[in-house]
Structure 1
Amino acid sequence: MQRRMFLKTGALAAAAAPIAMPAIAQSMPEVKWRLTSSFPKQLDTIYGTAQQFAKFMADATDGRFQIQTFSAGEIVPGLQALDAVTSGTVECAHTPTYFYVGKEPALGLGTGIPFGLNARQQHSWWYFGGGEQIVNAALAKFNAYSIPCGNSGCQMGGFFRKELKTLDDLKGLKFRIGGMGGAVLAKLGVVPTQIAAGDVYPALERGTIDAAEFVGPYDDEKLGFVKVAPYYYYPGWWEGGAMLHLVINQEQWSKLPKHYQAIVQNACEAANNWMLAKYDFVNPGGLRKLIAQGAQLKAFPQPIMEASLKAAEEYYAETSAKSEAFKKGYESMVAFRGENLLWWQVAELSYDAFMNRLRSR
């Protein structure tokens, strides 16, 4: 009896083996992609998020989906990452979509706009408020598709050589800031300029620029700006929750099996959470280091905040008149923000305000 069962089982296994092996191979094909980041390796949390994403992909596919990461400049400069995806030079890029507002203003909404949403709200608007459809429709013109893959949380307002006291202090101020934040501040007399990370310190030291913003305390402390620009302002109202994306060449995305697409989406979500959690962990220590090095922590004066908000709203009206895609996305975001802030005032903000008072106990 046992011999007959063994022979029967063995026969079934032998019959199944030639079918099972090819089936597994077909369902888990080998894929090799190249990813260009918009950031240098020195920024180990932002660039590290791309590395974490690649690791999650390899782990989930037993090494069959390999993604090689390259820092800004190794294949293309950081601000040309979308171009590299569009042309097929690389299969994907890790980049904020607001770098490309010159191509289409609606792409700014994918990362976040001045006086927009915080990190959690941006994430919610993307998946449930229509953000995904709006931004990816804009990206389709560039042969690309995007998935959220990281968030910095609210950023700092940057380092200034001189203290800001009134609106007049902004006039003629040469500020290293790009994108929509720079366009808004230009309405208040600021002279925005975009300088690569490695060139900012000497520009501040020589007085070629008067101020510079980057990310938050952890990254800012590494760059040493506090040595030549001691006034450290907050909040970075132009980046309340800057969302990064995995931007993928549309043909390469379409070629993936559906279950590989699902793995990419889940790996992006894991990387998104990793980046935000990492910044929440390292920024407090970075802020303490900066203060110990002489940083004078300052809140932007209320008149400057109010004037900046007014300038932003004027800019959005002008941009909406030029771009139907931006108009649609902006109206969607504003409606979401109004509804969501009501909830935050009741729950999140009141809880955070109470808990923050415990620091003095």
Structure 2
Amino acid sequence: MRHIVIGLVIGLVVGVILGVTVLTPQIKSHTASKAVLKDRELTGDNKEAPVVLSALQDGDAIHWRSAPPFPSDHPNVSAQAQKFSKQLALLSGDKMILPILPAKDVIGADRLFNAIASGRIDALFSTAEIAADKEPALSLFSALPFGPNAADMMAWLQVGNGTLKLKNIFAKHNVTALVCGYLPPEASGWFVNELHNAEQIKELRIRVTGLGAKVWAKAGAKVNAISAEEVPNAFDQGQLDGAIFSAPSQDAKSGYSRYAKNYYFPGWQNQGQPLLLLINTRAWKQLDQERQSLLKTSCDQRSAIELAKAPQEQFKGLSDLIKQDVRLKRMPSYILDPLKQAWEQVLAEEVRKDQSVLEVWESLNIFLKNRKTWQEMSQLKDDPSDF
């Protein structure tokens, strides 16, 4: 009888150990995976994904802690992050789970960046401006006034030394940065009245953020950096003459057309920018090489897909805007020229204040100059008579 009791006790102890060390983590991982993936469908995005790496079928699932993407009030950022999260789970066979939490409120850059740098969260989708207050050079990786087109910017990041510069800046804050998407060029903005002359600049009250805000201010406009959600009320109360929000695909859903009917192009203040996956460096180093490679490859794929899709999506956005009786207009040179001069002054000030800004700016310009040499030699010149 005593042997039977001892056997039962041993059996119970072993059962508890197995439950705690083996079964419980698997249950938690499975539950976490389903919580993120319960709405997953076989969409076109999933069909674009390559086969799952078989080596990732073994080992425990990794469920990273995340937060709502930054900027929290930009739906395009959240949409791309959601697509990547589902793609990553599919590619890894549910071995890597990166939840993308909905943004209930606009969360400040400092709060989010401190969370990723300290390791309170493991990963975060963001634009580079999240830490521009701490590292001014990051502004050049975000909405860059009169910057290069999307293809040239992404080329600098992928095959120039743009990514190295970016990673070195974030590394100082215990953060590893991967280029993981692409945000298309913005419009020049919404305006209540048409722009007829340069004198109007000094009368404008405009909502804009980033380096573009410094340019408008330098040119004499009154800049207001309120959140996107506050813009409609500001228009309604007669407190704004103009506002810059996003690209046409998102602007068409903003509701701004009820207050401002003049929609100007091109988006000189933002010709497109990379979306980043920021990872706490300790969390990154805990990944095996295959999972690191999976993340890099998935990010490269997401960037290429979003870059290719952008023109068609923005064309649809323009069509939707026309249905809202929005007037599409090209920003006249008598407005663009003073803004360009103001940008040159702002850039000179930024370069003087921070050595890193100078180094990043020189790196970008050298790359673009070399790239342009070949482009001019290899590409056909458009002949208007052909169209």
1:56 aligns with 2:82: no
State the alpha-carbon separation in 1 of the partners of residues 294 and 233 from structure 2: 43
Write the letter of the residue equivalent to 1:35: S
- Residue 131 of structure 2: aligned partner: 100
Match for residue 285 of structure 2 among 240, 248, 254: 254
Task: Map 1:1-361; keep pairs closer than 5 Å.
Answer: 28-36=59-67, 37-39=69-71, 43=75, 45-73=76-104, 76-77=107-108, 80-345=111-376, 350-351=381-382, 358=387
2:281 alignment partner AA: Q
State whether residues 207 and 225 of structure 2, in contact with CA within 8 Å, keep that contact through their aligned partners in structure 1: yes
Residue by residue over 1:104-144, the C-alpha shift from the partner in whole angstroms, topping out at 9 and shown as x without a partner, is 11111222411112111111111222111212211122221
Task: Decide whether aligned partners of structure 1 residues 165 and 340 sit closer, same or farther in structure 2, where only a CA change above 3 A counts.
Answer: farther
Distance 1:347 1:192 in 2: 43
Identity of aligned residues (%): 28
CA distance in 1, matches of 2:273, 2:281: 24
In structure 2, the CA distance between the partners of 1:249 and 1:42, relative to structure 1 (3 Å rule), is closer
CA distance in 1, matches of 2:142, 2:120: 23
Q: Distance in 2 between matches of 1:224 and 1:304?
A: 25
Q: In 2, distance between residues paired with 1:247 and 1:98?
A: 12
Instruction: Assess if the C-alpha contact under 8 Å between 2:127 and 2:275 holds in 1.
Output: yes
TM-aligned CA deviation for residue 74 of structure 1: 6.2
Shift, 1:280, TM fit: 2.4
1:223–1:176 distance in 2 versus 1, CA, 3 Å: same
SS of alignment partner, residue 142 of structure 1? coil
Residue type at the aligned position of 2:240? I
Cα gap change, 1:229/1:79 in structure 2, threshold over 3 Å: closer, same or farther? Answer: farther
Relative CO higher for 1 or 2, CA cutoff 8 Å, sep ≥ 6? Answer: 1
Contact 1:95/1:246, CA 8 A, preserved across alignment: yes
Provide, for residues 50-83 of structure 1, a one-character-per-residue CA deviation record: whole Å limited to 9, x for no partner. Answer: 1111122211211111111113346944674323
Query: SS of the counterpart of 2:66?
Result: strand
Matched residues in 1 for 2:362 and 2:343: separation?
Answer: 14
Quickly say closer, same or farther: Cα 1:161–1:344, change in 2 above 3 A. Answer: farther
TM value normalised by structure 1: 0.84
**SS state of the match for residue 309, structure 1?**
helix
**For 1:117, what is the secondary structure of its paired residue?**
coil
More divergent stretch after superposition (23-32 vs 148-157): 23-32
Q: Matches of 2:379 and 2:209 in 1, distance apart?
A: 31
Pair 25,279 (structure 1): closer, same or farther in 2 beyond 3 Å: closer
Letter in 2 for 1:64: K
Offset at residue 232 of structure 1 (A): 0.5
Letter in 2 for 1:175: I
- Would the aligned equivalents of 2:190 and 2:243 in 1 still touch at CA under 8 Å? yes
Q: How far apart are the structure 2 equivalents of 1:25 and 1:116?
A: 40
**What are the superposed Cα offsets for residues 157-179 of structure 1, whole Å, 9 maximum, x if unpaired?**
11011111222111142211111
Q: Unaligned 5+ residue runs, structure 2?
A: 1-53
Deviates more, 1:28-37 or 1:233-242: 28-37
**What is the alpha-carbon distance in structure 2 between the residues aligned to residue 81 and residue 255 of structure 1?**
21
AA in 2 matched with 1:220: D
CA 1:167–1:126: 2 relative to 1, 3 Å: same
Question: Following TM superposition, by how much is the alpha carbon of 1:193 offset from its aligned partner in structure 2, in angstroms?
Answer: 2.0
Q: Partner of 2:252: helix, strand, or coil?
A: helix
In 2, are the aligned partners of 1:112 and 1:122 still within 8 Å (CA)? no
